[in-house]
Amino acid sequence: MRVIFRQRPCIPMDNDVIVDGEKLTIRDELLKTRYALENAYAGFDNVTDPDLIDCYIYELNAVMKRYKYLLQQAAEMDLLPEEKRAEAYRPLVTQ
- pTM for the whole structure: 0.63
Helix (H, G, I), strand (E, B) or coil at 82: helix
Extents of the domains making up the chain: 21-88
Report the pLDDT value the prediction gives residue 53, as an integer from 0 to 100.
93
Pairwise CA distance, residues 17 & 58, whole Å? 42
- What are the residue ranges in the chain where pLDDT is below 50? 1, 3, 5, 7, 9-15, 95
Instruction: Give the rounded distance of the alpha carbon of 5 from its chain centre.
Output: 23
Looking at residue 92, its amino acid is L
Pairwise CA distance, residues 74 & 27, whole Å? 8
